Structure 1
């Protein structure tokens, strides 16, 4: 069965976006002489991405309007908007937990939960995430969009790997 990983960055105080939804703060503290690329290593393990509408919209209008950066993967966008799907981007108006359970049973590599906070919380509340790969960025935002909020129950995790580079810390957990 396919595994599900949340791979996301957050500020030290737990936000994935600032109070205006911006993510221009998603960088380290300066030069990265070690040239560590945990993203490329992670994407070798997945072939499917699940994201919410706001994340999709921010990517195509602000972060990468000229090119779809996830062209090597099949992306499911959870949305109420009626849009035409393509071979690589599928717009779906369905319960994310139901979709994820279905995807887990299909053949393929693992599934990446890309964001945003609402989608993440729904899947956390259904305990559908196997791995939590959180990159902590060295900034305190003070307010914004929280990564984890209003959880329905405790989920105990086990730290399986850490990596520190450019002032950032990758923390990788699995459920225990």
Structure 2
């Protein structure tokens, strides 16, 4: 039976040094593997993805268009919708108070209350006709905005250029 080397001997010090260096090397290798597997901000690579940006009022703000129709959502949380037939026949103007955006920038909803309805053609808005006080939810799906009070939809500039909302 052999006895371990005494703590003050050169053999014991070499053994402690080798074990310590081996443990440090193993930890450094494990850390390197973890860091190589983690996605970086610059590359965007890796299995983990960050959450998509949350929708805000700014997600909806601006001019949305379709063939012979438009809706402008402006600061002050006001939306004005204008619907026509062809170039020259006005159908309706609606005004909304818009609040509470939810979802992500690609898939979102926006709560809207009808504050004004002006219809130039009694049957043009369909049934049921929107009335002041009605609360609806605009919905946004990849650049197309649906407005349920009038039953119409609108495109952002990019989707509109691709012909997603009419001629």
The TM-score with structure 1 as length reference comes to 0.21
Q: Which has the larger radius of gyration?
A: 2
